[in-house]
Amino acid sequence: MSQRSCLSVILAAGEGTRMKSALPKVLHQIAGLPMVAHVVKAADAAGASSDAIVIGHGAEEMRKAVAKFSPKAETFVQEERLGTAHAVLAAREAISRGYDDILVMFGDTPLIDAEALTMARLRLAEGAAVVVIGFRPPNPTGYGRLIEKDGKLTAIREEKDCSEEEKKIGFCNAGMMAVAGAHALTLLDAVGNKNAKGEYYLTDIVEIASAQNLDVVATEASFESALGINNRAELAQAEAIWQQRRRHDAMLSGVTLIAPETVFFSYDTDIGADTIVEPNVWFGPGVRIAGGAKIHAFSHIEGATIGSNCDVGPFARLRPGADLRNKAKVGNFCEVKQAVIEDGAKVNHLTYIGDARVGSGANIGAGAITCNYDGYSKFFTDIGEGAFIGSNSSLVAPVSIGKGGYIASGSVITESVPDDALAFGRARQKTIPGKGKELRERFASAAAAKKKAAGADH
């Protein structure tokens, strides 16, 4: 297969009106990635060396999105919506470059399995001119049936045109197919529009190819792989299927998920063996976790790197740029953003660390924060190895705390602290004997007078 060139043509021009959204349908996300990007990933995994994405509705928005998730992909605009064959021919320029295999796919089938596409390509390599990918839905009603004879596919029959016997067929058209590059344009150009809608249907190339004595066959994909998304309920269904697959793969790779159904991954989550994930954890895009980490319940992690044997949460938030080195700890109700927490450092509870470095072995007390933003610009805080930051301290950046530095609890630190120094940044305590009792009596008397006055008014 590696010797055969392959172009994927992905149809993504539909308006998706049933999504009830200004966003083009195929840009709605599954696991943090647009649907159409999942399709591109599957095609590339099946050996596609080039991708042509046919767009229409929201063309400019589509181009920008494609440039992010697949910079090498080409986009082609279908100016008029005249059917699926017409849509494929919008990418004529790419098809005409002489690829061995052409994969035709839909941008709203995000669960398509690369193995199903590879199988279709294998049948092309064996001599087929057209390979239609079929599936067996629980209920075939409404789907086009694949009509086979002697191992060959002779027609795709829409249900309204099926005989009673053909309606009993459970093998249905998934819409996707592979076409030999040598025949692709000839077959597509032969498709006519003599039908009720006056459109050019891609499925017609099955009978056209058969009439030319070319081999046409069908391969089978799972029902999930062929699932098309038309509304937000189906989008949620696809998300659930994707998450179920990913959880299963994670557990088989050595990750413990205590309550798998409550853990949500993104398309690129990379999590090492012997990591334990407690219930209700959400991984956004860009998360890398080495082995042996423990992620406690209700943590929210995105764009973060977590080293081996780290301890995170519960109720921790790691934002993009958080970089926890080996055996670091970020505890409950802590937030870390764009900061390195070095080996063995502890950010235990109720703390914000942003735009900072926390040196190895340092300890950050409860309620400590780095004040990194002045309303206009961000500034950096550097906390040295083995430093101790007392509870409820504010470090006003730019500032550095030296190796072994000690910040007294409740301090506001505005100047850098040398190695091994102790810094106070708070008002001196004053104690007045008996004053507490005096205040309580005064406040109680005032409250009683107020209550009495209120009663007189009534």
Q: Is 383 left (phi over 0), alpha (psi -120 to 50) or beta?
A: beta
DSSP assignment of 314-342 equals SS-EE-TT-EE-TT-EEEET-EEEEEEE-
Helix (H) or strand (E) holding 30: strand 29-30
CA distance linking residue 102 with residue 82, whole number of Å: 21
Q: Are 23 and 108 in contact (CB under 8 A)?
A: no
DSSP assignment of 247-281 equals HHHHHHTT-EESSGGG-B--TT-EE-TT-EE-SS-
Contacts of 347 (CB under 8 A, 6+ apart): 328, 329, 330, 331, 334, 336, 341, 353, 358, 364
DSSP assignment of 52-116 equals EEEEBTBHHHHHHHHHHH-TT-EEEE-SS---HHHHHHTTHHHHTTT-SEEEEEETT-TT--HHH
Residue from 28, 86, 296, 349 carrying the catalytic annotation: 349
CA distances from 382 to 126, 188, 299 (A): 63, 64, 25
CA distance linking residue 131 with residue 219, whole number of Å: 7
Q: Is 349 assigned a catalytic role?
A: yes
The residue written with tokens 């953003």 in the block is 337
Instruction: Enter the tokens of residue 298.
Output: 């209700």
CA distance linking residue 235 with residue 245, whole number of Å: 15
Instruction: Enter the tokens of residue 261.
Output: 């159904």
Q: Evaluate the omega torsion of the peptide bond into residue 398 and state whether it is cis, within 30 degrees of 0.
A: yes
Among residues 28, 24, 85, the alpha carbon closest in space to that of 56 is found at 24
Q: Are 106 and 227 in contact (CB under 8 A)?
A: no
The residue written with tokens 């933003």 in the block is 373
CA distance linking residue 369 with residue 347, whole number of Å: 10
Enumerate the active-site residues. 349
